[in-house]
Amino acid sequence: MGHAMEWLGLHFMTDLPEGGQVILNCTHDPFLVLLAYLVACVGCFATLDMAERVAHAEKSASQTRWRWVGSACLAGGIWAMHFVGMLAFQTPIDLHYQLPVTVFSLTIALLAAWLAMHTLSLPDLSLQQCLKTSIGIGLGISTMHYVGMTAMHSNASVYYHPGLFALSIVVAIGAALAALLMAWYLREGAGMLHQLFKYSASLLLGAGILGMHLTAMAAFNLVLPSDSLPAQTGEHSHLQLALTVTVMTLLIIGSSISAALADKKLQRKDHDLQRVNSLLSQLDQARMSLQQVAHYDPLTNLINRRGFNQIFAEKLIEKTNKGGMLAILFLDIDHFKRINDSLGHDAGDELLVALAGHIKSSVRSHEDVVARFGGDEFCLLIDLHDRDEARQMAQRIMLKMKEPIELAGRRMVMTTSIGISLFPEDGKTCEELLKNADLALYQSKGSGRNGLNFFSANLKTRATLELQLEEELRHALREDTGLLLYYQPIYDLRTGHVSKLEALIRWQHPVHGFLAPDRFIAIAEANGLIAELDNWVLRKACEDLGELSRQGCENLKIAVNCSPLNLAREELADEIEYALRATGVAPHRLELEVTENALMGNIADTLVLLRQIRALGVSLSIDDFGTGYSSLAYLKRLPLNTLKIDRSFIQDIPKATQDMEIVQAIIVMAHTLQLQVVTEGVETFEQYQFLENHGCDFVQGYLLSRPVPLAELLPVLNEINQRRDAYTVTTLSLAHGTSVLM
């Protein structure tokens, strides 16, 4: 040879051979080269796919598994490409391959491929790190190639062209760098365009790897002495072996890609399942939140009416099946409205939270159920063995309630009214027991509050009667049947004539007979009928006054009572004006009687309404004076005409000297305020004479006449007006058989 050298066990040749040596002319089978390129492309595609799977794997074990699968695919693809490329190498001499060395070359390829996959699985990759790894991979692939070449044995000597040898290593490193960068770039992404990029990258990388192999094969030379030229003994074809290796490699790599695709789909399904589970979890949380909202009171965090009813129903089933007693305690905070009105709703809420804490601390924590039904109403459900346990529980709560509470800078003590019903003696259903406990609570409130009452049968009877009366009163108002107005004369002491009448409602009930107002007024007030009832009285009184005018009583006035609840309605003035206009009655002939407490309830609004009524020309009278809590400072500001002294101050005169002094003082005070005085409940001549002697303006009572219907009124008025002195009045009262009883 012109120049030969040996390095790392390889023979390098730089000049043409001399001295009878011949370089054999070798060729490549183009089909097998194309087959080798196909294997390389498939191996590269598998590597890109595995790099993507590693990047998306969520578990460490899964990352490791796909890293090794990717390494095997890359190593198998490169090695199979090399092996098929070697089989594509055609020489005029026989070549033999050592299997152990060939397998060892596969191990080297596997190490290089593992380095590539390990690098691609890193969370971040710098250019410097990429270059270092590319050099390692390129050297590994080159080593695999040249180790594989050493497995080739023949009669010829092997020499390498140093320039092409070096170029093959550079090509290997370049291909490795390109593969790393592309694989890193294509780790993320999805869709058709992403897949096209992967296919294109696989073709490019396959060309790079095949180019390295062909460059290395171009550096490879077989040299024989001239005296041992090979005989052309025939063609050596390795097509079958190449196809076998190719098919096996493609099957392995294809299986790996299929597994990766299946895993990708499974992961997507797993993600979908996780999303579904997450949504289900969120829905469950939302359901629990809704259940919390639906069953718990947000202010006190006690269960509400809905939650209570659910637990109550379950308890009833349990007690019905197994036996035992339950108690339902209905609580209502006494005068709670005053707190909201005076300190505001925020202070009221704060107080409710504190009171809920008092109630909660009074019960047995695990056995008893405490609920807030709304407003200041609470309800308890307790297991018990005897009736006395419920009483002790109620007393314990009432005692706890009396502990002072700091609120808005004040120390407040609240009380509660309690009603109790028992299962099974007071009812078998939730609705019945709750209704009966409510009736017992109503009894406690009616008995002066700050007390407790058990349900009893007579409460139910009374409640049933009141409900029936309410329904029948609605019917009476709607159909205008059964309701009547009676009139009691009001006698003017100065003129000696009846100048006014008080209109008093009566109800001719079809079953219970003749009912006085005290039997149904409270029912009307409690059930929202009082405004309609008062309006009926107003219209009927104005109609009757018009009828009296046609009968010659043009100067008579009529006084009608106004409920405290009706006095709070802004529409009252308009209703009065309408009634007067509809009946043609002059406004000065109508007087509106309002109670003392009604006037003082909401003085600012009341004052506005009273002035509107006075502006119509209607007179105003304060009824039952002395029984309420009038403030003289406000009384002098009210546009009143008349003050009516309550009968309770008259009934014991002349025996009660203290009452006589009170009546005298009221008459003097009223006259000082420019008010006329009417005294009701006058039944004896002594009472009449006392009032006349002390300057009272009007008297009203059984001494003159009982209330009578309109049809009987004129004879009574004529008889009273014909008598001008006290004696005649006394005689008249005896002649009519009047009673001294109200």
pLDDT confidence of residue 14: 53
Residue 329, domain member (yes or no): yes
Indicate if 262 and 310 belong to the same structural domain: no
Q: Rounded to an integer, what distance in angstroms lies between the CA atom of residue 687 and that of residue 700?
A: 11
User: For tokens 């109200």, what's the residue?
Assistant: 742
Mean per-residue pLDDT over the chain, rounded: 77
Give the confidence band of 228 by pLDDT, cuts at 50, 70, 90. Answer: low
Q: Is 74 exposed, middle or buried (0-12, 13-18, 19+ CB in 10 A)?
A: buried
Q: Is 550 exposed, middle or buried (0-12, 13-18, 19+ CB in 10 A)?
A: exposed
167-181, 253-267, 270-284 — which is least confidently predicted? 253-267
pLDDT confidence of residue 195: 67
Indicate if 225 and 328 belong to the same structural domain: no
* For residue 457, pLDDT beyond 80: no
Find which of 101-110, 225-234, 583-592 is predicted with most confidence, using mean pLDDT: 583-592
* For residue 32, pLDDT beyond 70: yes
Indicate if 509 and 375 belong to the same structural domain: no
- Could you say which of 213, 242, 269 is where a domain stops? 269
User: For tokens 């390889």, what's the residue?
Assistant: 10
**Stretch (H or E) spanning 333:** strand 325-333
* For residue 737, pLDDT beyond 50: no
pLDDT for 631-688, tens place per residue? 566 677 788 889 888 888 888 888 878 888 888 888 998 898 889 999 998 988 899 9
Residue 393, domain member (yes or no): yes
Indicate if 431 and 524 belong to the same structural domain: no
Residue 585, domain member (yes or no): yes
Please say whether the beta carbons of 228 and 20 come within 8 A: no
Indicate if 253 and 318 belong to the same structural domain: no
Here the tokens at position 381 are: 């459900």
3-class DSSP assignment, residue 604: helix
Average pLDDT for 48-67:
67
Please say whether the beta carbons of 681 and 624 come within 8 A: no
pLDDT for 302-320, tens place per residue? 888 888 888 888 888 888 8
Other Cβ atoms less than 10 A from the Cβ of 237: the count is: 12
Indicate if 133 and 219 belong to the same structural domain: yes
Residue 617: domain span: 481-735
pLDDT confidence of residue 413: 79
Residue 101, domain member (yes or no): yes
Indicate if 391 and 520 belong to the same structural domain: no
pLDDT confidence of residue 487: 93
Question: Which has the higher per-residue pLDDT, 402 or 680?
Answer: 680
| Residue 436: CATH number of its domain | 3.30.70.270
Q: Where are the beta strands (DSSP E) in 216-269?
A: 220-225
* Single-letter residue type at 307: G
Give the confidence band of 726 by pLDDT, cuts at 50, 70, 90. Answer: very low
Indicate if 182 and 233 belong to the same structural domain: yes
The 3-state secondary structure of 116-128, one letter per residue: HHHHHCCCCCCHH
70-79, 259-268, 505-514, 591-600 — which is least confidently predicted? 259-268
- Could you say which of 396, 420, 455 is where a domain stops? 455
pLDDT confidence of residue 541: 92
Residue 296 is classified by DSSP as B
pLDDT confidence of residue 56: 61
Give the confidence band of 151 by pLDDT, cuts at 50, 70, 90. Answer: low
Here the tokens at position 132 are: 């270092």
Q: What are phi and psi of 458, to 5 degrees?
A: -70, -25
Strand duo 513-515 + 497-509: pairing = antiparallel
CA-to-CA dists, residue 473 to 146, 459, 524, 527, 579, angstroms: 115, 21, 8, 10, 22
- Could you say which of 216, 242, 269 is where a domain stops? 269
pLDDT confidence of residue 469: 80
The domain total for the chain is 3
3-class DSSP assignment, residue 464: helix
Give the confidence band of 552 by pLDDT, cuts at 50, 70, 90. Answer: confident
Residue 347, domain member (yes or no): yes
pLDDT confidence of residue 153: 67
Question: Which has the higher per-residue pLDDT, 691 or 732?
Answer: 691
* For residue 741, pLDDT beyond 60: no
Residue 464, domain member (yes or no): no
Average pLDDT for 288-305:
77
Q: Is 659 exposed, middle or buried (0-12, 13-18, 19+ CB in 10 A)?
A: middle
Indicate if 440 and 491 belong to the same structural domain: no
pLDDT confidence of residue 677: 92
pLDDT confidence of residue 130: 72
Indicate if 71 and 146 belong to the same structural domain: yes
Residue 409, domain member (yes or no): yes
Residue 462, domain member (yes or no): no
Average pLDDT for 175-184:
68
Q: Rounded to an integer, what distance in angstroms lies between the CA atom of residue 416 and that of residue 624?
A: 30
pLDDT for 158-178, tens place per residue? 666 777 777 877 877 777 677
Give the confidence band of 283 by pLDDT, cuts at 50, 70, 90. Answer: confident
- With a pLDDT cut of 90, the percent of the chain lying above it is 8
Indicate if 497 and 611 belong to the same structural domain: yes
Partnered with residue 171 across adjacent β-strands are none
Indicate if 413 and 372 belong to the same structural domain: yes
* Single-letter residue type at 353: V
* For residue 574, pLDDT beyond 70: yes
**Cis ω for the linkage preceding 654 (within 30 of 0):** yes
9-18, 260-269, 658-667 — which is least confidently predicted? 9-18
pLDDT confidence of residue 5: 45
Here the tokens at position 164 are: 């092409």
66-75, 99-108, 194-203, 617-626 — which is least confidently predicted? 194-203
